A and B are shown apart, each in its own frame.
Chain A
């Protein structure tokens, strides 16, 4: 398979990555360890297969609230600081419930940097430059600083866990950085209701939803396309129009609360979250209404763009397939040479429901000025599957279908207003048009060829008519990303990759993206009279990165 991979990719890149990895391995730097490893005096590989990918023990550690599922105290090499005597539990409510804080600040840092290659086809986009202007230059090769992230996580005792991560710097200039996940998790609150262990947890704060495959802590350098798919309606008047401007993507963090339960190492697990709606419909806030947190806008003001709270629900069931019952029920299956992950099949589904909102200045039937609000319910639904074979081979797949109600503006006579004339014709109301939908997903295989080498292959596909139509505007130059291949395959790509763990906390990554077809030439179909893209080409890219945490 490695040979196939080498043949599949550009050999020069592979060997460049390999030799650079060897050089760094021999250089002897970066023996440091991140926060949990520091507290427990254990290697990253205790919880990670190929960081940040968790092994089964890492999943159990996370389920338990960032602590060992059993005998956590005896594993800690740095004792926690007691916040109150344990006997205070007996005095409640006349005493502060005792807890702990980590003996050292549980801080970890992570940094990535990259070298990227862009195929020479990128020069074809120069044709889109208006006459009289200089075309932009896309260098074929480029060194890029990546993300510098501060991580802090741990447990306050009494089953209260916390997590904060903040991208301090992105691309070397702080652009795009910011708070990632930041939450408190009350683990196993179901015990108060005498529910089975881990049947009910409560998480409060900002967090990535419990989507089937994490984007924030993925081992892939390139993001999952379907997770970044928003639904912005087709604006080309030559096609059926979609007045949808929903910028929500499933990969983004949400602010709210989550109820969850079950285990990620076997059996069921679920998540139900209620988060602020942020679909891009926010216009502004009154400066005369201070918020409960003392600000009229921004700062500690409000961020939602509607009263509605979006709802996410996910459910998974994992079948551990070990024949030996004891091994099947253990956190990690026991093999002849040592514990390893189970052979398992995980099946799941998820559903997200929200209401995208748009507001327009309009007029009623009597001509009175009014604010028109289009509330367009939307949902994302799909399923996921993982088959994991022991330590080394994993197949993952996810499918998603997105659906947004499409409310089209009409004038006082009930006539549809072409969207490109919305500023000239005053809307008076909305009628329901054909829904704006998209679908897609991904499938990947992750092969741990050696404990220090992961070989990857992924296929991404996103089918969105709106994306295609938006690219095919009637009058070039293009205004959007010109992904305008066939209607049924708007965007698809193959991404082979390989990763080398130089140390448990340092790795080299390489990915080659066979990217979707694009075009810079639009002609008119003589039969239909509609624009079509001609001479599609691919601008493939490669990225070599180094990722370390300490």
Chain B
């Protein structure tokens, strides 16, 4: 009897948690895309304390695409024996947020906290072919697809959202989604 009561209490306490922690999954027509839940009205999220690293190695940004939550600090590290520069002409298309990080030699890094959501096209003004992207998500619900375009975002509370899919060679697409448990959404991006 004592065990039954305990199990009942545990079951009841778990029900709300299960009901708010849904999963969002689906497929984007282009692989290596970014998918994230767009800004939720009236809701803010604490900035992550953990930073991520984007390396410049072999005349490339590694990783080529990074999806981060708004407020994340990115460490740009030069792992080449040549000098590199990092700059971006806009954030989310807003040219006022353009920034030039300057230049630094091998082994050094410089950090930047991305407080504004949107796509950040990374460039190096020494090596004009180098490009990378940071997709700053306004929510902590984001993912990068695999090469086939599949994605899965866990721990998405039940609710109605706008989900955005982005690929570097395509127009971004938004879709409304209602998450109740597991939700599925697919995107067919066009150029």
Contact = CB atoms under 8 A, between A and B. Distances in A.
B102 A338 contact: yes
Interface residues of B, number: 20
B100 A42 contact: no
A338 B59 contact: no
Nearest to A45: B128
Interface string B86-125: 0100000000000010111100000000000000000011
B75 to A, nearest CB: 19
Contacts of A339: 83, 85, 103, 126
Contacts, number: 68
A30 B127 CA distance: 19
Contacts of A337: 85, 87, 100, 102-103, 125
B43 to A, nearest CB: 38
Contact of B100 (A43, A69, A77, A338): A338
B127 A332 contact: no
Contacts of B87: 337-338
- Dominant SS among interface residues on chain A: loop
Given A74-B58, A334-B104, A43 B128 contact: yes
Given A71-B80, A337-B102, A339-B103, A43 B58 contact: no
B127 A42 contact: yes
Interface in A59-82: 68-71, 74-75, 77
A335 B103 contact: yes
B5 to A, nearest CB: 65
A322 B109 CA distance: 23
Contacts of A504: 128
A338 B125 contact: yes
B129 A336 contact: no
Contacts of B126: 46, 57, 332, 338-339
B58 A46 contact: no
B51 interface: no
Contact of A43 (B80, B83, B102, B127): B127
A359 to B, nearest CB: 56
- Dominant SS among interface residues on chain B: loop
B128 A338 contact: no
Contacts of A331: 82-83
Nearest to B59: A42
B81 interface: yes
A40 B80 CA distance: 13
Most buried by A among B82, B125, B126: B82
Given A46-B126, A74-B58, A337-B125, A330 B105 contact: yes
A336 B82 contact: no
A402 B6 CA distance: 106
Nearest to A335: B103
A43 B129 contact: yes
Given A42-B129, A337-B102, A68 B83 contact: no
A41 interface: yes
Contacts of A336: 100, 102
Nearest to B123: A338
A330 B81 CA distance: 11
Interface in A326-380: 326, 330-332, 334-339
Contacts of A46: 59, 126-129
B191 to A, nearest CB: 15
Nearest to B105: A330
Most buried by A among B58, B102, B105: B58
A326 B82 CA distance: 14
Contact of B85 (A42, A326, A338): A338
Contacts of B128: 43, 45-46, 504
A70 B81 contact: yes
A326 B81 CA distance: 14
Interface in B151-175: none
B129 A332 contact: no
A337 B83 CA distance: 12
Pairs of residues from A and B, 8 with the lowest C-beta to C-beta distance, nearest first: A338-B85, A70-B81, A338-B125, A71-B81, A43-B129, A339-B83, A43-B128, A338-B103
18 contacts: A41-B59, A43-B127, A43-B129, A57-B82, A68-B81, A70-B81, A71-B80, A74-B81, A334-B104, A334-B105, A335-B103, A337-B85, A337-B87, A337-B125, A338-B87, A338-B124, A339-B85, A339-B103
Given A68-B82, A74-B58, A334-B105, 4 more contacts: A43-B128, A46-B128, A331-B83, A336-B100
